[in-house]
Chain A
Amino acid sequence: MPVLQTRSLTLRAAGRVLVDALDWHVHAGERWCVIGRNGAGKSLVLRALAGLGVPERAGEVLWQGRPQQDWPAIAAAATRALMPQQAQDRFALTVERTLALSQVVMSCDSRNAGELMSALDIAALAARRADQLSGGERQRVALAQCAMQGAALMLLDEPVSFQDPAHQQLVGRWLAEAASGGRAWIASAHDPSWIGRVATHVLALFGDGRWQAGPVDEILSAQVLERTYGCAWRSFEDVWIPA
């Protein structure tokens, strides 16, 4: 039973087809990265997979083999979690309060918040106001919020875009272990070298509706990367550089 499955998922926005007839399976233990140019539809795909509203969609998304619209809201919360690209803090909540509110009571595996905070290097921020953190700190708190939900599927919209190199490594190492025990995650990301280290599979969106999904070694090739980003790529060992 795949954690996530799509059947002919088609997404349009502003008159453009961004994803055309996506047939896709994500199984437990898999770590997927979604790549594509700016505006290619990465965030839109993640929103649609989470069940949030998108401008125009067709086709089906199934969680644990069951269509997403058939899930009761509370059971759905224990099944999938979404980390948005940008947190929307309007009230002066502390980090620990924000995390406590993000815990789903019914979730089968509510993680130890303290361990989680240490693992993501945010333990020292517990008493700080979430709306006053730096971009990178807030992003790691958002990742912790997502993990606190204890869902089988984590959907992460750019989990490392604001991270310094050391924290990119730290988050990458944490993510590499976050797909155990029946779990999986899907993250949008940009750096092929980082993706090569943390992901098992990649979904490439070419921006015109076409897409390609497969194991990381297959997709991280000069040919697919060029088709994705429109520029040539060279690799040295496991490091990818745009030419």
Chain B
Amino acid sequence: MTDTREMPASVSSSAKPRPADPAILRVALLALATVLVAALALGLGSGGWDWSLIVSLRAPRVAAAAGVGSLLALAGLALQVLLRNPLADPYVLGHSTGASVGALTALLLGAQLWIGAAAGALVAGLALLWLARPALAAADDASPRLILLGAMLAAVFGAIATLMLALVPDQRLRGAIFWMVGDLSGADASLWNLAGAGLFAAWLWSRGRSVDRLMLGADAAWLLGEPVRRLRLELLVFASLAVGLAVATCGSIGFVGLVVAQGWRLAGVLRTRELALLSLLSGASLLMAADLLARVVVAPLELPVGAVMALIGAPCFIWFLARGVK
């Protein structure tokens, strides 16, 4: 009776997931702070530190970059779980191209841009889910088929967007091209982006365990009692809204979702809750940094930030593929 080994044993500590190293969060916060200061302060010109300039010109653009970066990183994380593919990204799989088509349609019809963009992203997402059903259900690795399907979907939407550009009146052409390449130079400081990113991350946090279980497979999660159908729909809707907001702000910028979430996974972070928090922070850092580069590399000229992000992101994608990430 006194033998404590006879006590009912709880699940041993060996099966409890180890939380990620707290140092990782510190690194992410430090990177965010550094990039934020640099983005606000660098490239001010000879006039030195001018508060009114920073507040009126620089801060709105930096805030837009931060919000869009967070939204895209979180959308990438959600799509990766939804499509069971760590290499998914709203740009690679055609969601942001679909959002561009939606935004252009809204532009031609005179409707709200972000609604058009969100609807376009949702349509692209549903089309991909429908086309990829066999690949998603297959026992083997679906990555190559899914990525090729997404690339073809992106090509189709890209072609539609190009055709629509022919219909746009000349004086609005430059503004329309902006949705195709991704550019922050004219972006407004919409607090909707930051608020939306915060909400998205909070939702992912609240569903953390369920989303984690979805990584085991849809059947496996369903057998464990998870509401798989609803969860997958919610993931798709949140990702589409996020991509829609991002595209309406600054056009389609690629690779943020891919690089941030998968980068942290390679650093050993595997839990959805931690990945959501880190995507929120590092998505903002990454796009602020890319925008900073876009402004200062060939100053006083500016590069489109979408092109800079692609120059960072595409090599990362190739590196992930070469490492045999499944």
Contacts and interface: CB of A to CB of B under 8 A. Distances in A.
Contacts of A114: 9, 12, 14-15
Interface in A69-105: 73-78, 80-82, 84, 86-94, 96-104
A92 B270 contact: yes
A112 B9 contact: yes
A103 B9 CA distance: 15
A222 interface: no
Interface stretch (B52-60, B156-164, B209-217): B209-217
A78 B17 CA distance: 21
B219 interface: yes
A161 to B, nearest CB: 14
- Which among B141, B216, B223, B224 has the highest number of chain A CB atoms within 10 Å? B223
Given A89-B326, A93-B270, A100-B17, A73 B225 contact: yes
Given A98-B216, A131-B326, A50 B270 contact: no
A97 B219 contact: no
Interface residues of B, number: 33
Nearest to B226: A73
A149 interface: yes
A52 interface: yes
B17 A97 contact: yes
Contact of A112 (B11, B142, B220): B11
Nearest to B209: A101
A50 B223 CA distance: 8
A144 to B, nearest CB: 10
A91 B215 CA distance: 7
Given A89-B326, A96-B17, A117-B14, A102 B216 contact: yes
A76 B224 CA distance: 8
Interface string A93-126: 1101111111110100011111101000001001
Nearest to A76: B225
B139 interface: yes
B16 interface: yes
Contacts, number: 104
Nearest to B139: A86
A140 B265 CA distance: 26
Contacts of B213: 101
Contacts of B282: none
Interface in B1-57: 9-12, 14-17
Nearest to B13: A114
A104 B220 CA distance: 12
B192 interface: no
B306 interface: no
Nearest to B223: A82
Contacts of B139: 86, 88
A99 B13 CA distance: 12
B225 A104 contact: yes
B319 interface: no
Interface in B52-97: 84-86
A32 B225 CA distance: 25
A104 B212 CA distance: 13
Contacts of A148: 15
B17 A90 contact: no
A51 B270 CA distance: 29
Nearest to A96: B15
B11 A74 contact: no
Interface in A190-236: none
A74 B117 CA distance: 37
A113 B190 CA distance: 49
Contact of B141 (A75, A81, A90, A102): A90
Interface string B119-154: 000000000000000000001011100000000000
Interface in A121-166: 123, 126, 131, 148-149
B212 A112 contact: no
B227 interface: yes
B216 A73 contact: no
Contact of A81 (B209, B223, B325): B223
Nearest to A53: B219
Given A90-B84, A91-B215, A97-B270, A73 B220 contact: no
Given A73-B226, A81-B223, A88 B17 contact: no
Contacts of A52: 219, 222-223
B14 A93 contact: no
A126 B13 CA distance: 11
Nearest to B215: A91
Interface in B251-280: 265, 270
Given A87-B217, A117-B14, 19 more contacts: A52-B219, A75-B225, A77-B224, A86-B139, A88-B84, A88-B139, A91-B265, A92-B86, A100-B15, A101-B213, A103-B11, A104-B224, A106-B225, A110-B11, A111-B11, A112-B12, A114-B15, A131-B326, A148-B15
17 contacts: A52-B219, A77-B225, A88-B139, A90-B86, A90-B143, A91-B86, A93-B270, A99-B15, A100-B16, A101-B224, A110-B10, A110-B11, A112-B12, A113-B12, A113-B15, A115-B12, A117-B14
| CB-based closest 8 A-B pairs | A113-B15, A114-B12, A77-B225, A74-B225, A112-B9, A73-B225, A88-B217, A90-B84
